Amino acid sequence: MDEIISALLCEDATPQDFAAVPLPDSYRGAVVRKEDTGMFEAMDFADKDPRKSLHLQDVPVPMPSAGEALVAVMASSVNYNTVWSSVFEPLPTFGFLQRYARLSPAAARHDLPYHVLGSDLAGVVLRTGPGVNRWKAGDRVVAHCLSVELESADGHGDTMLDPEQRIWGFETNFGGLAEIALVKSNQLMPKPEHLTWEEAAAPGLVNSTAYRQLVSRNGAGMKQGDNVLIWGASGGLGSYATQLALAGGANPICVVSSGQKADICRKMGAEAVIDRSAEGYRFWKDEQTQDPREWKRLGARIRELTGGEDVDIVFEHPGRETFGASVYVTRKGGTIVTCASTTGFRHEYDNRYLWMSLKRITGSHFANYREAWEANRLIAKGRIHPTLSKVYALEETGQAAYDVHRNLHQGKVGVLALAPEEGLGVRDPEMREKHIDAINRFREGEAKVS
Ligand code: NAP
């Protein structure tokens, strides 16, 4: 690994240097273990602790097969799927790996007693497999997390519709929370060069998801002037949805749970912010019964903030807790677009408010190849910025996932892999300087740049 690190830290290293650097036999990755899948049985979701199940472990380096690339990971980030995997909810991810393994000999390599997690990375290509022409050793890249086969026509118009669609590092092995990762080469995109490694690794999964969910015609197809209610507006998805709404000329109504999170939304440029804790919304009277008066109270608050208008789009992901309210507050003809159910996937809402008011509920999941590329392009152009708040060492991945699980974080939480410190990897300092305030607005303390 030392020779890889020397090449990574040498500004003059050539593609030939990277191609010649010897690969180690093993690398360190943040893994969950098959033998641990029962460790949290009978515990409440909130009490399951990723620090107990996530381990840093030496694992063998997989060789890239056709269409694949092996990447030296400088930095990665924690997504909520790392939380799901690490607490074995709603299912242990080893079942995904077993199913994938039936597909082909290359896929069979993923079915192992350990699962290297992580669905984001920024790093440098080390090797490519047969049939990869666009990317070569030494390329500085980020990777999106869409793994598809494209052997069925179903996915040819929208790659998310491929029957073999998977999320890399969640439904496949060899993810990004590691020193080395294995990806399909079509996941690779150029690293935005005004960003450090850890900043570049932060947006991938959530920015692409928010882009499809909110902006793309496959999602809500947001347009200028739309009022968009954004739950968790300073969180992973929400911090990008808020920026996408503002950059697209829409009017985000940000919902958050503290004054500090409200301030972050204002720093992003949002004017309409609801602190759900301070305003004390209780959409459920008990486990079975919702309180429509609370939906109406939220609707009235939204009208206060919009000058009497209802929302065109609700950016949904909390699920059971908020879904009844989301359907209620959407304007006639509007769209509730959902990509998750963090608080419970059995949603209840009053269907009269849906059909009588001609509203639509749209399902959305990650992003297709093109949408992921467009989302990364917005980052590279400095139109959308990383929302990195805190950076951990690879050894501390369990703590990083714990923070996200307990909703203690803002925006995104980063993890350094082979980058020895924060602040490395910037090749366009002029552009960085132009956007420095926006890049830093989620940081706890000043971000260091070398
Ligand atoms: P995150 O960083 O934890 O942000 C979620 C936000 O939701 C929190 O910041 C919190 O904000 C808000 N929230 C939590 N509980 C809530 C409640 N009871 N009512 C209202 N708001 C609540 O997570 P994320 O990365 O945004 O991901 C959110 C969900 O989307 C997860 O379930 C994740 O697995 C899923 N996801 C799905 C996809 C996909 O492709 N389908 C992609 C990314 C994420 P406040 O406390 O400030 O309100």
pLDDT tier at 2, thresholds 50, 70, 90: confident
Cβ(257) – ligand 1 distance below 6 Å: yes
3-state SS assignment for residue 315 = strand
Which of these, 357, 356, 350, lies nearest to 334 by C-alpha position?
Answer: 357
Give the nearest ligand 1 atom to 404 CA: 3
Task: Identify the residue whose C-alpha is closest to ligand 1 atom 24.
Answer: 236
Amino acid at 328: Y
Task: Identify the residue whose C-alpha is closest to ligand 1 atom 4.
Answer: 235
Instruction: Please name the residue that has the structure tokens 């699920």.
Output: 319
CA of 121 to the centre of ligand 1 (A): 20
Count, residues in the chain: 450
Which of these, 35, 34, 30, lies nearest to 50 by C-alpha position?
Answer: 30
Domains and CATH numbers, the chain: 2-206+367-443 (3.90.180.10), 221-363 (3.40.50.720)
Amino acid at 68: E
Q: Percentage of residues in the chain with pLDDT exceeding 90? A: 94
Give the 3-state secondary structure of 338-384. ECCCCCCCCCCCCCHHHHCCCCEEEECCCCCHHHHHHHHHHHHCCCC
Q: Locate 309 and state its tokens.
A: 């208008």
Give the nearest ligand 1 atom to 322 CA: 19
DSSP of 1-59, one letter per residue?
Answer: -HHHHHHHH-TT--HHHHHHSPPPSEEEEEEEEGGGTTTTTTS-GGG--HHHH-EEEEE
pLDDT tier at 10, thresholds 50, 70, 90: confident
Q: Tell me the best of 79, 80, 89 to mutate to test the pocket of ligand 1, counting ligand atoms within 8 Å of each CB and taking the most.
A: 80
Which of these, 203, 226, 222, lies nearest to 213 by C-alpha position?
Answer: 222
Residues 6+ apart with CB under 8 A from 207: 240, 375, 376, 378, 379, 384
For residue 219, how many other CB atoms are within 10 A of its CB?
25
Model confidence at 447: pLDDT above 60: no
Average pLDDT of the residues of the chain: 96
Cβ(261) – ligand 1 distance below 6 Å: yes
For residue 190, how many other CB atoms are within 10 A of its CB?
15
**What is the sign of the dihedral through the CA atoms of 348, 352, 355 and 358?**
negative
Residues 6+ apart with CB under 8 A from 391: 75, 198, 413, 414, 415, 416, 422
Task: Identify the residue whose C-alpha is closest to ligand 1 atom 43.
Answer: 206
Distance between CA atoms of residues 293 and 314, nearest Å = 19
- Write down the pLDDT at residue 448: 56
Task: Identify the residue whose C-alpha is closest to ligand 1 atom 7.
Answer: 232
The CA-based dihedral angle spanning residues 362, 365, 368, 371, taken in that order and rounded to the nearest 10 degrees: 70
CA of 319 to the centre of ligand 1 (A): 9
CA of 339 to the centre of ligand 1 (A): 10
| Mean pLDDT (whole number) for 68-93 | 97
Q: CB–CB of 19/137 below 8 Å? A: yes
Give the nearest ligand 1 atom to 237 CA: 26
CA of 342 to the centre of ligand 1 (A): 6
- Write out pLDDT tens, residues 349-396: 999 999 999 999 999 999 999 999 999 999 999 999 999 999 999 999
Give the nearest ligand 1 atom to 258 CA: 47
- Write out pLDDT tens, residues 409-425: 999 999 999 999 999 99
Taking each helix axis as running N to C, give the angle between helix 292-306 and helix 320-329, from 0 to 180 degrees, rounded to the nearest 10: 60
Task: Identify the residue whose C-alpha is closest to ligand 1 atom 48.
Answer: 256
- Write down the pLDDT at residue 233: 98
Amino acid at 303: R
Task: Identify the residue whose C-alpha is closest to ligand 1 atom 23.
Answer: 236
Cβ(80) – ligand 1 distance below 6 Å: yes
Burial grade of 33 (CB within 10 A; 0-12, 13-18, 19 or more)? middle
Cβ(53) – ligand 1 distance below 6 Å: no
Which of these, 342, 315, 339, 328, lies nearest to 405 by C-alpha position?
Answer: 342
- Write out pLDDT tens, residues 297-307: 999 999 999 99
Q: CB–CB of 417/392 below 8 Å? A: no
- Write down the pLDDT at residue 11: 85
The CA-based dihedral angle spanning residues 152, 156, 160, 163, taken in that order and rounded to the nearest 10 degrees: -10
Compute the radius of gyration of the chain from its Cα atoms: 21
Q: Tell me the best of 85, 338, 342, 364 to mutate to test the pocket of ligand 1, counting ligand atoms within 8 Å of each CB and taking the most.
A: 342
- Write down the pLDDT at residue 450: 54
| Mean pLDDT (whole number) for 115-129 | 97
- Write out pLDDT tens, residues 262-278: 999 999 999 999 999 99
pLDDT tier at 154, thresholds 50, 70, 90: very high
Q: Tell me the best of 237, 295, 339, 368 to mutate to test the pocket of ligand 1, counting ligand atoms within 8 Å of each CB and taking the most.
A: 237
Model confidence at 446: pLDDT above 70: no
| Mean pLDDT (whole number) for 282-310 | 97
Beta bridge partners, 85, equal none
